[in-house]
Structure 1
């Protein structure tokens, strides 16, 4: 410590460690010290007044920098809500900062930051991230999360390459798409894996903060809505091959939803139905039953 700070140990201890600098001096090279809490310091976490926080943020600068200071390349702290939202309507907002040249500190870490606000009774439409895995913190409110994935054991089977044609067909028919649900409340943390469709329903005003990893060149891909809907971009002939219904039926279904990104959680064109009727619908759909809930966003 004396070499690091070029100062006497007693002064370092008094200034940095808040310990009594008095007492007998030990031989150089044999001094031992501890980080015991003093009467005035109960630990490493201390309370800071609002005035101190405001004063600190006025002069805050990021430690990440590109080039020389003379060029003014030291970047300021990131404010997610500084500009206009990337996505916005009457049902919700999304603010996002991506790892690009404007944000070199995020570019160095290959991370993105996302802030989502969903109004009570609204739904963030089913979507997935092409590359990024996002760790999400619930800052405010309550809601429900739905995530669609293929069962892990089925994914492992799908990696087997040297099998007979009959076995491959039988295995493909047994693949099961599962819907996973969770209730969300303030303080919860959940993970959105890349390439896994997710829908989020707000039972009260819901605020989320996301930290995306492996975010460079990531794209958020929506599966429903009037704009940015990847299914709507598929050629009609391809829809005929990809979906049970005809391409024309798929296009008609997509056009039912007039909103984009955030919508009312209650489908406008659907008449009320009993839980028994919904259960029966799932049974009739066979293996596709678990997808019904998340696909109701198509309205």
Structure 2
């Protein structure tokens, strides 16, 4: 049986999200227990803990590592000074829980998707709501960004590609949005159930999605078509990651397994049982040496990354 390099134990319930600082020294984890933990990855020690009322679905860092944002079941997004974890304010506007986050424009804009069927754009750090997309027919469960051309969202089994809709007004240091409704929205159909994860390949040409139908789909973004359906998991596919060259995809699922796939062919390379229960989130450290996984068993595991 494969063994992790290290196992971190500091949560009381399912871990939904992990994020690592750009220098690779700090890891943030958050989950169902309403806890945000800050870990030292050099010493594998717990540095700080924050308790928030309700579930936390996702945490993200701005590229400069100045701010951490968390989204949870209290319908709010919290902004924290990083790494001090000093509370900077709340982003208020969602009428149901925000569950997914993306940071854009060099950390100046935060995009959130929620169970209220909306996508919202916010100004960082003041939390000003500057744009809302309300055209979704179901909850927005995940987001991705293709450069500055398309915002990609998933609700139910559908994936939508929206024009990015934002460009900087450099004279006034503001951001200008196109008037709604935006034109040119494309819908991708291929999954038979909820889509839980979206990732763009490092070269920007393909989108990969994972869903509650236990499959992973590779899409051609230019032609807007399904290229390949990858089958191998025995549970919902919760997260995806790429090795830096983009030729290897790593997937994590509700069966507790992590699978390596070759791209573009989509053949499984190897798999291993990573957790006793669902693997909810994975990431590759910036130095490319380790894979980090976490999930329903409340544990964070650090693995040597196979090339």
TM range (shorter): under 0.3
- TM-score with structure 2 setting the length: 0.24
Greater relative contact order (Cα 8 A, min sep 6): structure 1 or 2? 1
- TM-score with structure 1 setting the length: 0.24
Question: Counting helix residues as a fraction of each chain, which structure ranks higher?
Answer: 1
Q: Highest Rg: 1 or 2?
A: 1
